[in-house]
Amino acid sequence: MPNQERGRMSTAGKIIKCKAAVLWDVKQPFSIEDVEVAPPKAYEVRIKILATGICRSDDHVMSGNLIAKFPVIVGHEATGIIESVGEGVSKVKPGDKVIPLCLPQCGKCSSCIHPNGNLCVKFLLSRKGVLSDGTTRFTCKGKPVYHFINTSTFTEYTVVEEDSVLKIDADAPPEKICLIGCAFSTGYGAAIKTAKVTPGSTCAIFGLGGVGLSIIMGCKAAGASRIIGVDINSRKFEKAKAVGATECVNPKHHTKPISEVLKEMTGDSVEFTFEAVGQDETVIEALASCHMSYGISVVIGCPPPSKMLTYDPMLLFTGRTWKGCTFGGWKSKDDLPKLVSDFMAKKFDLDKLVTHVLPFNKIKEGFDLLHKGESIRTVLTF
Ligand code: COD
Ligand code: ZN
Ligand code: ZN
């Protein structure tokens, strides 16, 4: 029996003690702890994480902008290897390389059944921080530690449900393909699947982080001829242009609202706008920036909880379409295999999105790079 196989079998069915980055409470720093990861129950799998990206949504949990149950292990953009499986698991086996899916596809709920739905009911249930049986598989210092959006990947081992895992090619590079677990799919899908960007069109993208840059890649792949990046951090412009932006604008360099600036730049013909910042002001600005009659504006960012937007209904009355999407609008299990095979066939590359690769124990450094606006994606490796 190969050593690797024997190693896996020696842990199957047993509690694994390993390192994880625990958030004990809101606004507290990550604490690398020894945690216990219970074996997977029925229809669950335990995954050894190989690489995991740092996304702004993880930071939103730390800051309190995204509600989660504490203590929690966040992280949701990863690649791993199945270590063991629970009873009844049939679609994956130990040794398979996988991407955990923050958006599961149960195949049974109203969103999964409808051809245009993708927000599976299991995503909404995951807000409680537990798996389907109402319990958690993580323990630290004798206390339960909660799960985060069906993934929890800032740990050497995690447990997720079978519905929440996608098998990928054994030779896929972990520190790149993990981006298909969030940033790339969210942004690329917002352009291709949700907005359905058309050839020759003009697009404007608000927010040039990992998600915004992936939107640019989607607009480019759809054949848009003008792609305008909007960000208050001009240091993001070089990267945005490298992935396909034709020009970039910094709202801080203008006194007029950016919707006016874009109108002047384009002669009033921005067809598609995307909000990938997560602030109410930019949600409204993006809406106002698309063409009054045929423009489509897509909300990707998640504004802070309990915020209400005020907007002029005339913006919609004239004909604009206002949409939102999670995970780009993709049905995760149905649609991601094509993204994975396109990546493996080199139809797009993820290199430009990964600006930093750090060992897992440097997680705080990774978040510092995000806070300072220096990184697009930092990927942590184990
Ligand atoms: N105008 C323009 N750009 C701005 C402004 C502003 N007023 N304020 C900040 N920005 C720029 C920042 O400089 C930065 O470059 C960019 O906006 C945001 O980038 P990141 O790297 O912080 O964030 P991303 O790309 O990792 O994520 C952005 C989201 C908006 C997607 C994220 O914050 C979010 O809301 N996630 C929840 C929604 C969701 O579905 N996410 C997918 C699963 S995580
Ligand atoms: Zn479902
Ligand atoms: Zn994310």
> pLDDT value at position 341?
97
Catalytic residue check, 182 = yes
10, 18, 31, 60: the active-site residue: 60
Give the Å distance between the CA of 167 and the centre of ligand 2.
Answer: 18
Beta strands at 226-230 and 143-145: parallel, antiparallel or unpaired: unpaired
d(CA 138, CA 157): 10
- Average pLDDT value for residue range 249-271: 96
Give the C-alpha distances (Å, rounded to integers) separating 282 from 7, 12, 46, 266, 300. Answer: 50, 48, 39, 19, 11
Q: What is the pLDDT of residues 353-373, one digit of tens each?
A: 999 999 999 999 999 999 999
Using pLDDT thresholds of 50, 70 and 90, give the confidence band for residue 124: confident
Where is pLDDT greater, at 268 or 265?
265
> pLDDT value at position 226?
98
Give the Å distance between the CA of 103 and the centre of ligand 2.
Answer: 9
As a whole-number percent, the residues of the chain with pLDDT over 70 amount to 97
Give the Å distance between the CA of 211 and the centre of ligand 1.
Answer: 7
> pLDDT value at position 177?
98
Using pLDDT thresholds of 50, 70 and 90, give the confidence band for residue 269: confident
d(CA 40, CA 35): 15
Angle at 54 between CA 204 and CA 354, to 5 degrees: 65
> pLDDT value at position 210?
94
Tell whether the model's pLDDT for residue 127 goes beyond 90. no
Query: What residues line ligand 1, using a CB cutoff of 6 Å?
Result: 55-57, 102, 182-183, 186, 206-212, 230-233, 236, 251, 276-279, 282, 300-302, 326, 373
Asked whether the CA dihedral 54, 57, 62, 67 is positive or negative, the reply is negative
| Of the ranges 6-10, 118-122, 299-303, the best mean pLDDT one | 118-122
**Domains of the chain by range and CATH?**
3-167+350-381 (3.90.180.10), 187-325 (3.40.50.720)
Q: What is the pLDDT of residues 17-56, one digit of tens each?
A: 999 999 999 999 999 999 999 999 999 999 999 999 999 9
Using pLDDT thresholds of 50, 70 and 90, give the confidence band for residue 12: very high
> pLDDT value at position 302?
84
- Average pLDDT value for residue range 241-253: 98
Q: What is the pLDDT of residues 291-331, one digit of tens each?
A: 999 999 999 998 777 678 888 999 999 999 999 999 999 99
Catalytic residue check, 102 = no
Q: What is the pLDDT of residues 278-288, one digit of tens each?
A: 999 999 999 99
- Average pLDDT value for residue range 136-165: 97
10, 76, 203, 375: the active-site residue: 76
Tell whether the model's pLDDT for residue 4 goes beyond 70. no
Tell whether the model's pLDDT for residue 5 goes beyond 70. no
For ligand 1, atom 43: residue with the closest CA: 182
Using pLDDT thresholds of 50, 70 and 90, give the confidence band for residue 9: low
Paired tokens of 4: 């690797």
Paired tokens of 342: 């396109």
> pLDDT value at position 6?
47
> pLDDT value at position 274?
98
Catalytic residue check, 57 = yes
- Average pLDDT value for residue range 163-189: 97
Give the Å distance between the CA of 1 and the centre of ligand 1.
Answer: 47
Alpha helices in the chain (DSSP H): 3-11, 56-63, 110-113, 121-125, 174-177, 183-189, 210-221, 237-242, 258-266, 280-289, 314-317, 332-344, 363-371
- Average pLDDT value for residue range 244-266: 97
- Average pLDDT value for residue range 178-194: 98
